[in-house]
Structure 1
Amino acid sequence: MSGMEYQGEMTMGLMDQFNESLDYKKTLQWVEDQGGINSLLDKFRQNGLSDKVSSWIGSGENSPISADTIQQVLSSEALQSLASRLGVDVSKASGLLAEYLPKVVDLLSPKGETPKDGNLLTMGWELIKGKLFG
C-alpha cells in the first residue's frame, strides 16, 4: 500500500469517526432533553428494570436490553424525537438505543455512579475527544 493510499484510508477513518460523533452528539442532546441521564434511567427503574440499570452502572458485564423493551419504557413521542434527530425510523432508533444506552451509561459511570450534575453533552464530547486524540 502506498503512502497516499494509507493517508486516504486514515482520512476516511477520521471522517467516519467525525460523522459518528455527530450522531453521538445528537443522541446526548436528546438524553438531556429527556431530563438527563438520571431521569432516563429512572424510567427504566420504574418499569422494573433496576437490575439492568445497575449492571450498566456497575463494573461487571452490561445486561442487554431489547428494542421492544425500550419501546415499552419510553414514550412514543420521545422515541420519535430521537428518530427524527438521527434521520431513522422509530424501530431503528429503539434498536440503536438498546445497543448503545448500556455502553454509554457504562462509560459515564466509571466509579459506579452516574453523573449527578453537569452537562451530559459536554461529558460525552470529552469522552469522544479522548478516544480520537487521547
Structure 2
Amino acid sequence: MTNLSNIVEILAKQALGAKQQSNQSQGGLGGILGSVLGQLGANNQQSAQGGLGGILGSVLGQLGGQQQRTAAGASGTQSLLIAVLPLVLAWIQKQGGLQGALDKLKGQGLTSQVDDWVSTGPGENAHVGAEQVQSLFDDADVEQVAQQTQAPKQDIYNAISAVLPQIIDSLTPQGERTSKQEANDDIQQVMNLVSGFLKR
C-alpha cells in the first residue's frame, strides 16, 4: 500500500478544520471526503457543474464562511490544496500512471526534485515553483478549478506546486522499489471514492 489515502485524509481534515474533525463519526478517508462533499447539501442539486475539480471546488467554497471566521489565509489555502488534489491525480493518470508522470517531470528539468520526492530519506520534500508546474497542467482544467473555488489561477498553480511533491512522496513509500502498479491502483481507488460521493 502507498500512503496516498493518508495524504488525502490529512488535507481533508485540514480543510474541514478542527470543529468538524471532532464531529467526525465515520472514520477514515471515506468518512472525511463524505463530510467534505456533504457540505454541498442542497446546492449540489441546483448546480449541475460537471467535473470533479469543479464540484470539489464548490464543496470547498461552501466551507468559506466558516474559514473566514477562523484563520482565513491558512484555511483558504488548505481548501485549495484539497481542491487541486483530483486535478493532480488525474494528471498522473493522463501520463500513463506514476512512472509516466515521473518521466514527464524529469523531462521538465525537475530530476533533482523528483529524486528527492521519491527517496525515503528524512527531511522536507524539495520545493517546486508554481511556474515550474504551470506548463504541465492543462490551462482549461486549472481555469475550471479557479472558477469553482473563486481563486486566482496563480493560487491554483501555487496549490499544485505544494500538493505535487506530497503526492509523489506518498505514492513512493519504498522509494524506487515501490510498485508502480500498486501506486496507480491507489490513485484509481481515491478517484473512484471521490467520484462515488459526487454521484450520490
Once the two structures are aligned, what percentage of the paired residues are identical? 24
Residues 1:81 and 1:121: Cα distance change in structure 2 (over 3 Å)? farther
- Note the C-alpha offset of 1:106: 0.7
- Note the C-alpha offset of 1:52: 0.5
Q: Does 1:116 align with 2:129?
A: no
Q: How many residues align?
A: 117
Residues 1:9 and 1:102: Cα distance change in structure 2 (over 3 Å)? same
Tell me the distance in 2 between the aligned counterparts of 1:7 and 1:70. Answer: 32
Tell me the distance in 1 between the aligned counterparts of 2:155 and 2:189. Answer: 25
Q: Does 1:33 align with 2:97?
A: no
Residue identity matched to 1:122: Q
Structure 2 gap ranges (5+): 1-18, 25-30, 39-58, 60-78, 195-200
Match of 1:80 in 2: 139
Q: Secondary structure of the equivalent of 1:52? A: helix
Residues 1:45 and 1:97: Cα distance change in structure 2 (over 3 Å)? same
Residue identity matched to 2:180: K
Match of 2:128 in 1: 65
Residues 1:38 and 1:91: Cα distance change in structure 2 (over 3 Å)? farther
Structure 1 gap ranges (5+): 1-5, 129-134
Which stretch has the larger CA shift, 39-48 or 82-91?
82-91
- Note the C-alpha offset of 1:58: 0.7
Residues 1:115 and 1:123: Cα distance change in structure 2 (over 3 Å)? farther
Residues 1:96 and 1:83: Cα distance change in structure 2 (over 3 Å)? same
Tell me the distance in 1 between the aligned counterparts of 2:21 and 2:162. Answer: 30
Residues 1:59 and 1:35: Cα distance change in structure 2 (over 3 Å)? same
Residue identity matched to 1:58: S
Match of 2:72 in 1: none
Residues 1:36 and 1:50: Cα distance change in structure 2 (over 3 Å)? same
Q: Secondary structure of the equivalent of 2:180? A: coil
